[in-house]
């Protein structure tokens, strides 16, 4: 009986495949938990092994890649406002610069010494 360990995912590429796969799965889990991504969109982890045998067929090299296909961020819309300044330059604003704020921060009275 041969006591030598045959190759498997745990020992190929110096055992790095499983660690990289674990990290990639964690990325998928983080993406699923992210509220800015669609909940029901499918995610994938793709592990690709490439075997390149030598011409004598007695040895070869193996390489791997591991990638995640994640859900993209849900699109969000908002408004922006464009204003031309007197010098001709153009500025963009997230709020209408011509609109007064309805709830401007009120100044809190300072305590007077007694």
Task: Return the DSSP state at 95.
Answer: S
**Which one, of 102, 99, 103, lies nearest residue 81 by Cα?**
99
What are the tens digits of pLDDT across the range 61-88?
A: 999 999 999 999 988 888 888 888 889 8
pLDDT at 44 over 80: yes
Residue 20 pLDDT grade (very low, low, confident, very high; cuts 50, 70, 90): very high
Percent of the chain with pLDDT over 70: 86
What are the backbone angles phi and psi of residue 21, rounded to the nearest 5°?
-65, -40
What is the spatial distance between Cα 29 and Cα 78, in angstroms, rounded to a whole number? 29
Q: Is the pTM of this model over 0.75?
A: no
Task: Return the DSSP state at 8.
Answer: -
Residue 57 pLDDT grade (very low, low, confident, very high; cuts 50, 70, 90): very high
Task: Return the DSSP state at 93.
Answer: E
What is the spatial distance between Cα 114 and Cα 110, in angstroms, rounded to a whole number? 12
pLDDT at 13 over 80: yes
What is the spatial distance between Cα 48 and Cα 43, in angstroms, rounded to a whole number? 16
């Amino acid at each position: 009986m041969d006591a030598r360990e045959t190759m498997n995912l745990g020992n190929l590429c110096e055992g790095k495949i499983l660690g990289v796969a674990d990290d990639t799965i964690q990325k998928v889990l983080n993406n699923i938990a992210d509220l800015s991504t669609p909940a029901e969109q499918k995610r994938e982890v793709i592990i690709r092994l490439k075997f390149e045998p030598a011409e004598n067929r007695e040895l070869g090299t193996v390489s791997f890649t591991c990638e995640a296909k994640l859900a993209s961020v849900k699109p969000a819309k908002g408004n922006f406002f464009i204003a031309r300044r007197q010098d001709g330059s153009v500025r963009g604003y997230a709020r209408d610069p011509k609109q007064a704020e309805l709830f401007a921060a009120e100044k809190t009275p300072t305590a007077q010494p007694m």
